Amino acid sequence: MQQLSHNFYIDVILPLPLERNFSYAVTQAEFEFIQPGIRVAVPFGKSKVYTALVLKCHRNTPTAYEVKSIHSILDETAVVHSVQLRHWLWISEYYMCTLGEVLSAALPNALLLQSESVISVHPHAKFDECNLSDDQYLIIEALEQEPRLRVDAVQAILGKKQIFQVLKPLIEANIITTNQELVHKYKPKLLRSVSLDVKFKGEKGLEELLNQLYRSKKLKEIILAYFSLSKDSELVSVSDLKKMSNASSAQIKSLIDKFIFEEHFIEVDRLKLDGFAIEKSITLSPEQTEALANIKTVFEHKEACLLHGVTSSGKTEIYVKMIEEVLKEGQQALFLVPEIALTSQLVLRLKHYFGDQIDVYHSRFSPNERVEIWNRVLKNSENSRVVIGARSSLFLPFSNLGLLIVDEEHEPSYKQFDPAPRYHARDAAIVLAKLHGAKTILGSATPSIESYFNAKKHNKYGYVSLTKRYNDVVLPDIELVDLKDKYKRKRMKGHFSDRLISEIEQSLSESQQIILFQNRRGYAPILSCNTCGHTPECPNCDVSLTYHQHANQLRCHYCSYGTVVKNECGACNSVDLDTKGFGTEQIQEETLALFPDAKVARMDLDTTRGKYSYDRIIQKFERKEIDILVGTQMLTKGLDFRDVKLVGVLNADHLINFPDFRAHERCYQLLQQVSGRAGRTKTRGKVIIQSYNPDHNILQQVSSNQYVKMFEEQTYQRRIYKYPPYFRLIKITLKHRDYNRVNEGATWLATALSQVFGPYVLGPEFPPVSRIRNLYHKNILVKIPEDQSLQKTKDVIHRVKNSFLSTKLFRPVRVVINVDNY
């Protein structure tokens, strides 16, 4: 133990949900070297080691606890910028979570090595053993015996505690990887290719080579095939080469063995297409030009601008122009999309303009890939000047952001639900922009009530609109079909009305594509017994199991529990079982039966689990290898398909009847967005919406495109019933295995809060699904009027929560706080 008398300390964020940051002692030399944003390995608890992030350096001896020394310094320069740290502080304060939780969400896992991390050899590791240190060599050797090792096991093998510094270079050189299971799932596709060895380059080399091969006509043929294939690049894929020259694997191998070909495995960047000339010029339409000019005017005196442009009005092209200007200034741009499914289409489109300056970031990348992108952004690399990503890309180490775009800003998936930090990416983006002195564009065809309110009523954002589709294509014709009437008059086949069927036939006959929307996956949400009425429920959750026919399974959509379907009722053994309700799987089946000649595919959570599975479906649809695409809301978000003529919504009712104050707003957005996929380029599209309530106000507003009317009606209701945008909401959820404890705890907490906030405390109330993964849930909602201090409200909630958790009875109850609850 070194002497700690010289009083040099650092405060660090540990990747743990701790209420405060901890101080550690450092030597004077370390103190002079360390700056905020550098990682250090520190001991914590009895015997654990964590990677922590330095928040500040100081010389005030902590008195509350015994200070430990750090183990080692892991970085030479900061991996997190100070502007980022300020953003993280804001997130932790605003969303009432700890900095440790923000750190865990923000930093790629592989940068957060800890005792429990698991390491393994990278599947594509390339290294020379001679370059390894003794310790590193021991680690690799150990991994040959035992492919997955915990970091604390490595500590034991090396007989030392301070091993993060040994591991770090191995991770950075892609020799080892952490948390291997992810890497396996999303292994990048590798293409085996060959190049000609350098000594045979040029005319003379070639002559020499052909001489050398004089005995084998076949090998010469392969070489000639290589030349005709290798026009622009030296690398030729082995499969192309085999096809062209009719060569066998053994013949190719012999050329490799003779050192004539050099073998390569290159990662196939599925987004790279041939002939991708950077085409710098798009000509904006007069409307787009005006909108662009208006946005620039707005930015002269406002930091954010809402771009309200109908579907297919060409918002993306306006973003492109704005990004171009930012790049000219040498700044970075961040383009947020709500759904990973959207990134690839967008990347393809943007590559046309920005070539290799684009990077993509989202949760389906492997740990090492994430570290690579992190480091490129950190270095402000040319290759990541424009980052397209899901909400977590807000955490990347930008140093010089000029523009943030939040596309489809109304999307609820921008709000992180679980775990903490429960941040809203749109709102956090605006704060991040402010910290960088950058601007934010919020784009949508159906803005959230909050954003439209902020623009139009509060004057907080600027407002620019595009009311026409690009190329003057007319917005689709939306027809409401009354299901009550159709069933009564027997005009239904399965879940398809005669109107929908005839429109599908029409589109198919014109070789136009069709999208069918049903916002529920699986075959049917309920399987029930006709004799006794029993429905199988999840053993862990208070919800019935969804029937998945294809897998012959009953599955829980809350906890992923699954069980094989039995042919008889679990309660009375009757075999008379029936399904109620319907999901995408059933619609796909009915579609196949009704239109046997059509090519039908499905896009929902069940068909898109792999890293590239979205892309595959989307690309097949784009290439017209699919006629009818059945899907959930995944289909609604911003996808740009050229030949979709018809969109069918099988049942709009569960969207209307959802028990949530945002249900009608969401219903409007979802139906307008899914309708917006129809008729984007040439002919006018057609939309059929089937419902038992076709006269419902919200459906009438959808069918006549009356956003403003929807807004006025919804805000009227929200004002009366005290909801956003007039009141802020903080939701407090209690969770515990024991029903009574949750019940009593919720009453205790609600009573304590009511003493301060009176009638603005709602509940406690059990949510519709009150038990998930064996935990009972109960909610309390705190409403905050505009003139009440948000900070003081949070302080009270914090205090009440702490005294709640300090009672013995309630300490084990989990209390989850969700600010601006969605």
CB of 721 or CB of 739, closer to Zn ion: 739
CB of 48 or CB of 534, closer to Zn ion: 534
The least CB distance from residue 351 to ligand ADP, in Å, is 13
CB under 8 Å to 751, separation ≥6 — which residues? none
Q: What is the DSSP string of 550-579?
A: TTTEEE-TTT--EEEPPSS-TTT----EEE
The least CB distance from residue 420 to ligand ADP, in Å, is 32
Helices 315-328 and 286-301 cross at an angle (nearest 10°) of 50
The least CB distance from residue 424 to ligand ADP, in Å, is 22
Question: Pick from Zn ion, ligand ADP, none: which does 313 bind, CB < 5 to 8 A by kind?
Answer: ligand ADP
Residue type, 556: C
Segment lying near ligand ADP (by CB under 6 A), choices 253-261, 309-317, 386-394, 666-674: 309-317
Question: Pick from Zn ion, ligand ADP, none: which does 529 bind, CB < 5 to 8 A by kind?
Answer: Zn ion
CB of 314 or CB of 745, closer to ligand ADP: 314
Question: Pick from Zn ion, ligand ADP, none: which does 385 bind, CB < 5 to 8 A by kind?
Answer: none
The least CB distance from residue 583 to Zn ion, in Å, is 17
Contact call for residue 316 and ligand ADP (CB under 6 A): yes
The least CB distance from residue 603 to ligand ADP, in Å, is 19
Contact call for residue 725 and ligand ADP (CB under 6 A): no
Phi, psi dihedral angles at 537 (to 5 degrees): -120, 160
CA distances from 85 to 107, 266, 766 (A): 12, 37, 37
CB under 8 Å to 36, separation ≥6 — which residues? 54, 55, 56, 57, 78, 80, 82, 85
The mark string for 660-699 relative to ligand ADP (x by CB under 6 A, - otherwise) is --------------------x-------------------
DSSP code for 63: -
CB of 34 or CB of 529, closer to Zn ion: 529
Count of residues touching ligand ADP (by CB under 6 A): 16
Question: Pick from Zn ion, ligand ADP, none: which does 317 bind, CB < 5 to 8 A by kind?
Answer: ligand ADP
CB of 482 or CB of 622, closer to ligand ADP: 622
Question: Pick from ligand ADP, Zn ion, none: which does 664 bind, CB < 5 to 8 A by kind?
Answer: none
The least CB distance from residue 730 to Zn ion, in Å, is 27
CB under 8 Å to 820, separation ≥6 — which residues? 95, 415, 424, 427, 724, 728, 729, 730
Contacting residue, 30, 317, 359, 589, with ligand ADP by CB under 6 A: 317
Q: Which residues ranging from 256 to 285 are in contact with ligand ADP (CB under 6 A)?
A: 282-285
Q: Which residues ranging from 612 to 641 are in contact with ligand ADP (CB under 6 A)?
A: 640
CB under 8 Å to 661, separation ≥6 — which residues? 717, 718, 721, 723
The two three-digit tokens of residue 69, written as one number: 């020394």
Question: Pick from ligand ADP, Zn ion, none: which does 558 bind, CB < 5 to 8 A by kind?
Answer: Zn ion
Q: Which residues ranging from 453 to 472 are in contact with ligand ADP (CB under 6 A)?
A: 470
CB of 99 or CB of 545, closer to Zn ion: 545
What's the per-residue H, E or C state across 396-461?
CCCCCEEEEEEECCCCHHHECCCCCCCCEHHHHHHHHHHHHCCEEEEEECCCCHHHHHHHHCCCCC
DSSP code for 67: P
CB of 166 or CB of 674, closer to ligand ADP: 674
Contact call for residue 444 and ligand ADP (CB under 6 A): no
Question: Pick from ligand ADP, Zn ion, none: which does 559 bind, CB < 5 to 8 A by kind?
Answer: Zn ion
Numbers of helices and strands, H then E, in the chain:
27, 37
Segment lying near ligand ADP (by CB under 6 A), choices 250-258, 314-322, 710-718, 807-815: 314-322
Query: Can you give the binding site for Zn ion, defined by CB under 5 A?
Result: 529, 531-532, 534, 538, 540-541, 556, 558-559, 561, 569, 571-572, 574
The least CB distance from residue 544 to Zn ion, in Å, is 10
Between CA 214 and CA 220 the distance in angstroms is: 8
Question: Pick from Zn ion, ligand ADP, none: which does 572 bind, CB < 5 to 8 A by kind?
Answer: Zn ion
The least CB distance from residue 646 to ligand ADP, in Å, is 18
Contact call for residue 311 and ligand ADP (CB under 6 A): yes
Contact call for residue 745 and ligand ADP (CB under 6 A): no
The least CB distance from residue 618 to ligand ADP, in Å, is 14
Question: Pick from ligand ADP, Zn ion, none: which does 190 bind, CB < 5 to 8 A by kind?
Answer: none
Q: Which one, of 47, 49, 111, lies nearest residue 74 by Cα?
A: 111
CB of 52 or CB of 403, closer to ligand ADP: 403
Phi, psi dihedral angles at 16 (to 5 degrees): -135, 155
The two three-digit tokens of residue 326, written as one number: 């930012």
Q: Which residues ranging from 343 to 362 are in contact with ligand ADP (CB under 6 A)?
A: none
CB 366 within 8 A of CB 182: yes
Contact call for residue 314 and ligand ADP (CB under 6 A): yes
CB of 640 or CB of 820, closer to ligand ADP: 640
CB under 8 Å to 61, separation ≥6 — which residues? 7, 9, 67
Residue type, 396: L
The least CB distance from residue 671 to ligand ADP, in Å, is 16
The two three-digit tokens of residue 515, written as one number: 């999208």
Between CA 368 and CA 317 the distance in angstroms is: 33
Between CA 649 and CA 672 the distance in angstroms is: 11
The least CB distance from residue 382 to Zn ion, in Å, is 47
Contact call for residue 309 and ligand ADP (CB under 6 A): yes
CB of 162 or CB of 574, closer to Zn ion: 574
The least CB distance from residue 470 to ligand ADP, in Å, is 4
Q: What is the DSSP string of 345-411?
A: HHHHHHHHHHGGGEEEE-TTS-HHHHHHHHHHHHTT-GGGSEEEE-GGGGGS--SSEEEEEEETTT-
CB of 452 or CB of 496, closer to ligand ADP: 452
The alpha carbon torsion through 386, 622, 633, 491 (nearest 10 deg) reads: 160
The two three-digit tokens of residue 19, written as one number: 């209420």
CB of 283 or CB of 740, closer to ligand ADP: 283
CB 136 within 8 A of CB 109: no
Residues that bind ligand ADP (CB under 6 A): 282-285, 288, 309, 311-317, 470, 640, 680
